[in-house]
Amino acid sequence: MGYRGKVEEQEKARLLRAEGRTLADIATLLGVAKSSVSLWVRHVEFTPSPRRYGAKRSTHPNILAKAAEIEEMRRWGIEQIGVLSEASFLAAGAALYAGEGSKTDGSVRFANTDPQMVRFFCAWLRRFFDIDESRLRVCVYLHEGLDLDAAECYWSRIIGIPRAQFRKPYRAAANPSIRRNKHEHGCVYVRYACSRTHRSIMGLVRALLSSEAIPG
């Protein structure tokens, strides 16, 4: 499966969500995990309405219009980006690290809740740097009350690192103001302790942000 994942299933999930279907309904119809559906439709506005006598739910036209525009822009983005060249991939990874990675010298550290960003970063790190896989370390930040075992298994699959290389997780106090299904797998921290690799990445970041790199 490519980086873009199950594009067809994602598109169907967004359309079903725009129609007012629940996450459980969509997961059942598409035969995928509810957690995947939650991630795919997170930008689709959802307004549940009560069912009466088996009547079909109606969706406000503005919600449908918004969902349609999001899908249109997603397709437009794919057309504009296409398949990344090596140079584009290198620059994109540097830009991602510039925004989400640690700038402290001595260690490469990247943290995020978005599995696609984490997968992209790890693929980039492995592509352009000589990485010793056994030295990669992972730590999960997860609120109390959420399934730590499921979260670590999830991130292990996303990153491609065995759980034996996971470090002690950080368990945050439960926060009722945060939707439980929004970050059910928590935030993952990927760490690679190598000062040369970190300095190489920062060299790319500085080059990317320099005035010489900006088109005239």
Q: Is the pLDDT of residue 21 over 90?
A: no
The average confidence (pLDDT) of the chain is 85
Domain ranges of the chain: 7-81, 86-213
Mean pLDDT of 97-116: 95
Give tens-digit pLDDT for 132-174. 999 999 999 998 888 999 999 999 999 999 999 999 999 888 7
- CATH among 1.20.120, 3.30.1330, 1.10.357, 3.30.360 for 86-213: 3.30.1330
| Cβ atoms of residues 101 and 190 within 8 Å | no
Mean pLDDT of 13-40: 82
pLDDT band at 178 (very low <50, low <70, confident <90, very high): low
Left (φ > 0), alpha (ψ -120 to 50) or beta: where does 20 sit? left
| Cβ atoms of residues 63 and 18 within 8 Å | yes
Q: Which pLDDT value is given to residue 176?
A: 64
- For the ranges 27-31, 193-197, 208-212, which has the lowest average pLDDT? 27-31
Mean pLDDT of 180-203: 90
193, 196, 198, 199 alpha-carbon torsion, rounded to 10°: 150
| Cβ atoms of residues 100 and 189 within 8 Å | no
The β-bridge partners of 154 are none
- The fraction of the chain above a pLDDT of 70, given in percent, is 87
The β-bridge partners of 171 are 142
pLDDT band at 13 (very low <50, low <70, confident <90, very high): confident
User: Structure pTM?
Assistant: 0.69
Residue 14 is encoded by which pair of tokens?
């967004």
Q: Which pLDDT value is given to residue 207?
A: 95
Q: Which pLDDT value is given to residue 53?
A: 41
Q: Which residues of 53-78 are buried (b: 16+ CB within 10 A; e: fewer)?
A: eeeeeebeeebeeebeebbeebeeee
Q: Is the pLDDT of residue 93 over 80?
A: yes
